[in-house]
Amino acid sequence: MNAPNEPYRPLLTQAARPSTFAVQAIDENGAVRETPIAGEHPLTLYVDSQEVVTLMTLGAAPEALAIGYLRNQRLLNCLEDIVAVQVDWEVDAVAVTTRNGLEDLAQRMQKRTQTTGCGQGTVFGDLMAEIDSIVLPQNATLHRTTLYALLESVRVHETIYKQAGAVHGCALATNEAGRSQILMFVEDVGRHNAVDAIAGQMWLDRIDGGDKVFYTTGRLTSEMVIKAAQMGIPFLVSRSGLTQMGHSIAEQVGITMIGRATNKHYLLFTGAERFRADA
């Protein structure tokens, strides 16, 4: 139950699964090596007892993932619509109970796009239509020193990737003068799960995207750019490259997109007017 003066929070389980498991492998020298590998679990999402989708996930943040999926698919409009999010790994399911139900779930589920990225389909046509209505803060700026601070924060962050590989990571970070603090870091076997889990946690923690930077280890495809824009984050940074459609959507929505960012290297692709390269 929520205290009177605290912001609303749905009932949540806390059912994170272990992220890595050890298996034995034989290396090129014939030596048996105990090797950590990343978890991967099916998680079927039910909304008010109706099956919506099965996500294959690392399971590190299943409640936030479920909430963020519903947010990013535009199936729910605000956190207050959610009464409870209950994960039960015995049956690989997450049950979301809503206050008023989902109006047009059947209709929305009919037309799905299997997207480029890892993990999830999206009601792509709807999202593209929505892009035009997104307004990112024009006055936000990102200084190069802040970018470098973010890349350093990411570099030293303890990750499942360093242990086991086979996951993508996403981070939400602050954008301060010459500093960038990682507020959330989520890894998943599907990179769209990672971004969705961050979107869910941002709802739960009432975090606005406008003064933040979004970092991902993954490629900047159309869907990644759309999701960052939906979260209202003006800066999108990736260690990897980008696609043509990711680039053109970034231009359309006016996001500042930086690729190939590692150590002191980067390529600034779009939204240069918000970037400050001064020393």
**Contact positions vs a copy of itself (CB under 8 A):** 21, 23, 25-28, 30, 33, 35, 37-42, 51, 53-57, 111-121, 124, 144, 164-166, 189-190, 219-223, 240-247, 259-260, 264-269, 272, 277
In whole angstroms, give the CA distance from residue 96 to residue 87.
Answer: 9
Q: State in angstroms the smallest separation of the CB of 251 from a copy of itself.
A: 9
Return the number of the residue (1 or 32) whose C-beta is nearest a copy of itself.
Answer: 32
| Contact in structure between 258 and 235 (CB atoms under 8 Å) | yes
With H, G, I as helix, E, B as strand and everything else as coil, classify residue 99. coil
Q: State in angstroms the smallest separation of the CB of 138 from a copy of itself.
A: 19
Alpha carbons within 13 A on the beta-carbon side of 106: 0
Q: State in angstroms the smallest separation of the CB of 203 from a copy of itself.
A: 20
DSSP string, 122-144: E-HHHHHHHHTT----SS--EEH
Among 265, 279, 263, which residue's Cα sits nearest to residue 152? Answer: 263
Name the strand (E) or helix (H) holding 182: strand 182-188
Return the number of the residue (157 or 260) whose C-beta is nearest a copy of itself.
Answer: 260
Return the number of the residue (124 or 211) whose C-beta is nearest a copy of itself.
Answer: 124
Q: State in angstroms the smallest separation of the CB of 184 from a copy of itself.
A: 21
In whole angstroms, give the CA distance from residue 113 to residue 192.
Answer: 14
In whole angstroms, give the CA distance from residue 208 to residue 11.
Answer: 22
Q: State in angstroms the smallest separation of the CB of 67 from a copy of itself.
A: 16
46 Cβ contact list (under 8 Å, min separation 6): 52, 93, 94, 95, 96
Return the number of the residue (232 or 241) whose C-beta is nearest a copy of itself.
Answer: 241
Return the number of the residue (57 or 175) whose C-beta is nearest a copy of itself.
Answer: 57
Read off φ and ψ for residue 235, nearest 5 degrees: -125, 125
- How many Cβ atoms sit within 10 Å of the Cβ of residue 268? 19
Q: State in angstroms the smallest separation of the CB of 14 from a copy of itself.
A: 21
Return the number of the residue (6 or 34) whose C-beta is nearest a copy of itself.
Answer: 34
Q: State in angstroms the smallest separation of the CB of 164 from a copy of itself.
A: 6
Return the number of the residue (200 or 209) whose C-beta is nearest a copy of itself.
Answer: 200
